[in-house]
Amino acid sequence: MSDMTIPKTYKLFVGGKFPRSESGRTHAVNRPDGGFLANVATASRKDARDAVVAARSAWSSWAGATAYNRGQVLYRVAEMLEGRGAQFAQEIIDSTGATPAAAKAEVRAAIDTLVWYAGWTDKFAQVFGGANPVAGPFFNLTVPDSVGVAVAVAPNAEGSSLLGLVASIAPILTMGNSVVVLASESAPCVAMSFAEVLATSDVPGGVVNILTGNVAEILPWLASHADVNSLDLTGVEGEVAVEAERSAAETLMRVIRPRTFGATEKSFDRIARFVEAKTVWHTKSLA
């Protein structure tokens, strides 16, 4: 008697939970050789709105956490990912056809990326901020503050099914933003397994929300959403990116354009794109 294989159906990741799409839609994801891999939820406009609501609700507590705490949470995600490294390497192979060596290297790079950004959580303000010279009996200080809710699109580029997702999420979280991320269309299963890592780590529910489905269908609704503060289009190009920029202009949200950064690049400036410079004035004591 042969063993029975139960096909897996991946759901969405919204508010720290794994709901089905409200539309009930799913789509099949195949291996590079054409064989069936899994069923994946197809997110709808309502799912996108729910994800933004969850991100907005979680933002204030995440932004209000200490920089040290946020760093420890990102370190914890890296630890959890490392503990499941073999599983992720196999999922990358199954989803993309990568060689075992390349898959292991991608997992290692994703872990390193999380650790790199975790190290910046309590150091970024010291580099970005500072005291400003003023004429008068005042102190004038500039400090970085989180923007709010960001939307990102994970890239479809080769070698980035996991690394591209992590490279999109980590800089947004570093300074206290929450995020709605659209998973790679070509390798969504890897993204949803990463959602399981987030759910079993210390990341508060709603800080990261992951949607799967058709980017061209969902992105315009997120780009025009009045409660989204920043839009990272690093992972999308062509007419889809152009249309998203047009939609974002209606609400004056901040847009990080395609090719501003490499799909998997670690960058101090990438963190800076998701902060506001807050200026504080205080009088000097005249005593």
Write down the pLDDT at residue 2: 53
DSSP H or E run through 139: strand 138-146
- The pLDDT score that the predictor gives to residue 287 is 54
First CA to last CA distance, the chain: 90
Q: Sheet holding 26-30: strands in order across?
A: 9-10, 36-41, 26-30
Residue 194 lies in a domain: yes
| Distance, CA of 74 to CA of 172 (rounded, Å) | 12
CATH number of the domain enclosing 54:
3.40.605.10
CA atoms of 265 and 205, how far apart (whole Å): 26
The two structure tokens encoding residue 148 = 């709010």
Cα separation of 61 and 200, whole Å? 19
**Both tokens assigned to 13:** 């990741």
Distances from the Cα of 191 to the Cα of 54, 87, 128, 139, 279, angstroms:
18, 13, 31, 46, 38
Dig out the tokens for 184 from the structure: 């790679």
pLDDT of residue 277: 84
Tens place of pLDDT per residue across the chain (287 aa): 456 667 778 999 999 999 999 999 999 999 999 999 999 999 999 999 999 999 999 999 999 999 999 999 999 999 999 999 999 999 999 999 999 999 999 999 999 999 999 999 999 988 887 777 787 787 877 888 999 999 999 988 777 899 999 999 999 999 999 999 999 998 899 999 999 999 999 999 999 999 999 999 999 999 999 999 999 998 888 899 999 999 999 888 899 887 777 788 899 999 999 999 888 887 876 55
- Do 58 and 207 touch, CB atoms closer than 8 A? yes
Total-model pTM: 0.92
Question: Considering the domain boundaries, does residue 99 fall inside one?
Answer: yes
| Residue 2 belongs to a domain | no
**Number of domain units in the chain:** 1
Q: Tell me the backbone φ, ψ of residue 239, rounded to 5 degrees.
A: -65, -30
Residue 285, Cβ density class (10 Å: 0-12 exposed, 13-18 middle, ≥19 buried): exposed
Q: Report the pLDDT value the prediction gives residue 25, as an integer from 0 to 100.
A: 95
Decide if 1 is inside a domain: no
The answer to whether position 58 is within a domain reads yes
Instruction: Tell me whether residue 103 is in a domain.
Output: yes
Res 70: pLDDT: 97
User: What whole-number distance in Å separates Cα of residue 248 and Cα of residue 242?
Assistant: 10
Output the pLDDT for position 58.
Answer: 98
Q: What pairs with residue 151 in β-bridges?
A: 180, 231
Query: What per-residue confidence (pLDDT) applies to 3?
Result: 61
Give me the pLDDT at residue 5, please. Answer: 67
- Residue at 3 is within a domain: no
Domain annotation covers residue 4: no
Tell how strand 230-232 and strand 208-211 pair up: unpaired
Range of the domain at 230: 9-283
